[in-house]
Structure 1
Amino acid sequence: MILITGGSGSGKSAYGESRLMAEKTEQKFYVATMEVYGEEGRRKVERHRKMRAGKGFVTIERSRELGGLRIPEHGKNAVLLECVSNLAANAMFSGKNMMKDSGKLAGMLFEDILSLDRQADFLAVITNEVGADGEVYAWETMEYIRFMGRLNSLLAEKASQVVEVVYGIPVVLKGETEG
């Protein structure tokens, strides 16, 4: 598993897709986690669809319960999970989980992502850098920032490589640099 992080609009998705395209696999899966709300959300989804058009990705829409996802077995595969921050917000702010034990919820999402990792020959996980601005927000947002910090820390520890994308430039934080 590689973990790709960075700020909003930094080029994380494009970098993740390029990493998958470089993999010699029979199948490439794009696991999309965004629940679309409003015009801005629709534009973002459309932009991502255009970015991956013609690249041979099989898109799987999965905004919740990633642990139940089974990737079809058709030879060697590569999977792009886009993105952890959406998956986390979907889980954390759903009616049944609304702000309950974010530590436990982070562990559950981590296990779900590990389940996906076990099914993939290559897994690229996109996440977001949240909370680096040093601002203090409403308690719900602060709990989400802490939650994302816990989950990203777990993922970074497990990942063989961690890459931060800054202004479209991949910076390797952990693991081998590309060849």
Structure 2
Amino acid sequence: MFYVVTGGSGSGKSAYAENLVLSLGEGRRIYIATMMSFDEESTKRIARHRKMREGKQFETVECYTGLDSVRLKKDDIVLLECMSNLAANEMYAQGGAGEKTEEAVMAGIRRLLQDVRHLVVVTNEIFSDGMAYDESTVEYMGHLGNINQQMARLADGVTEVVYGIPVCMKGGKKNEASA
């Protein structure tokens, strides 16, 4: 099964996604971490997410670019956190896919879908603030939006978490796992 979980910053989407993974049965739980630690804020965010996962028996695989090179096992239950970081890394990091970001990311998603039992991907809803951004940010938002749409088409379930409340957008059961 393939699930996409989205929401704004601080919406509770990460807690919801972790609980969703825990509800998907027994098996090796893999957390694919995509956030690079490049400043104090990102270091704190990484520490907060590690603390959230304590005791939940996740094995962490760090993957900043090249998702299609990650090799996992057929019965693995995977949480990829988060697509927004992975897309930015592919676009801007040295060795990233650059203009081929969408293709690289989706090749990785398709690979995981072939290789694992369940995949849950967390992504950010960054499109509704009405702000004007520079050209590079608009390009990033376009790539992330296209990736999110492609994932939603492939997904068995899509849930948006709003103020800690999961809203089922596609498939699945409403409120499958509470945050």
TM-score after normalising by structure 1: 0.92
Please tell me the root mean square deviation across aligned C-alpha atoms, in Å. 1.5
Dislocated runs of 4+, deviation >6 Å: none
Deviations 1:30-89 (A, max 9, x none): 000001111110110000000000111111111111100001x3x722100000000000
Q: Which residue is 2:111 aligned to?
A: 115
Distance across 2 between alignment mates of 1:148 and 1:138: 16
CA contact (8 A) 1:25 1:76 kept: no
- Extract unaligned runs of 5+ from structure 2: none
CA contact (8 A) 2:65 2:96 kept: no
1:63 partner letter: Y
Q: Which residue is 1:56 aligned to?
A: 57
- Extract unaligned runs of 5+ from structure 1: none
Q: Which residue is 1:166 aligned to?
A: 162
SS in 2 for 1:90: helix
Distance across 1 between alignment mates of 2:62 and 2:19: 20
Aligned sequence identity (%) = 41
CA contact (8 A) 2:66 2:104 kept: no
1:143 partner letter: E
Distance across 1 between alignment mates of 2:95 and 2:132: 26
Deviates more, 1:129-138 or 1:166-175: 129-138
Q: Which residue is 1:21 aligned to?
A: 22
TM-score after normalising by structure 2: 0.92
Deviations 1:153-179 (A, max 9, x none): 101111011100001111000113246
Distance across 2 between alignment mates of 1:151 and 1:4: 13
SS in 2 for 1:8: coil
Q: Which residue is 1:82 aligned to?
A: 81
What pairs with 1:26-175 in structure 2 (closer than 5 Å)?
Answer: 26-71=27-72, 73=73, 76-95=75-94, 100-101=98-99, 104-175=100-171
